[in-house]
């Protein structure tokens, strides 16, 4: 799963401008998480037309980068995300983002982007759903 991370100014209308641009390009936002500090924010999104979205954002002057997310399956129970995070920490792999994609009766799907994605892929091979090379 590929995601796009866009750095936005923390001001009224910044997110609207990004979403309007993507809509005008015919790009559908499938998933969106936004976090902001005092001056800047980061929007992490997945879209239906990845290449077109990334090109349109960059042409419009948005600072947009892409990342390949690993999708893993974890038990849907208290502490499951902690176990996953500790597993990565034990291998000294820092997470850049983690997103809960879906929850089921027994399992949840989680998307993770790490600083050392190849090492994370190897470490999590037993729970990996997508993100293989």
pLDDT at 121: 94
Query: Measuring CA to CA, which residue among 127, 114, 6, 7 is closest to residue 68?
Result: 114
Fold of 2-67: VC0802-like (3.30.2130)
pLDDT of residue 131: 57
Q: Which of 99, 127, 89 is nearest to 2 (CA)?
A: 99
Q: Which CATH number, 3.40.190.10, 3.30.365.10, 3.30.70.260, 3.30.930.10, labels domain 70-130?
A: 3.30.70.260
pLDDT of residue 114: 92
* Secondary structure class of 67 (helix, strand, coil): strand
13-47 confidence digits (pLDDT tens):
999 999 999 999 999 999 898 888 778 888 889 99
Q: What is the pLDDT of residues 61-102, one digit of tens each?
A: 999 988 788 989 999 999 999 999 999 999 999 998 888 877
| DSSP structure class, residue 37 | -
pTM assigned to the model: 0.66
Question: Taking the CA of residue 57 as centre, how many other CA atoms within 13 Å lie in the half-sphere pointing to its CB?
Answer: 28
């Amino acid at each position: 799963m590929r995601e796009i991370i866009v750095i936005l100014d923390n001001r009224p209308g910044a997110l609207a401008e990004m979403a309007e641009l993507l809509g005008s390009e015919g790009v559908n936002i499938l998933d969106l998480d936004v976090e902001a500090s005092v001056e800047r924010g980061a929007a992490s999104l997945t879209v239906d037309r990845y290449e077109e979205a990334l090109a349109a954002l960059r042409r419009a002057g948005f600072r947009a980068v892409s990342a390949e997310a690993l999708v893993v399956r974890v038990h849907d129970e208290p502490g499951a995300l902690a176990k996953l995070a500790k597993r990565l920490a034990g291998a000294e792999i820092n997470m850049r983002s983690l997103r809960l994609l879906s929850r089921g009766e027994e399992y949840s799907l989680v998307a993770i982007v790490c600083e050392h994605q190849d090492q994370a892929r190897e470490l999590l091979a037993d729970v990996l759903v997508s993100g293989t090379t």
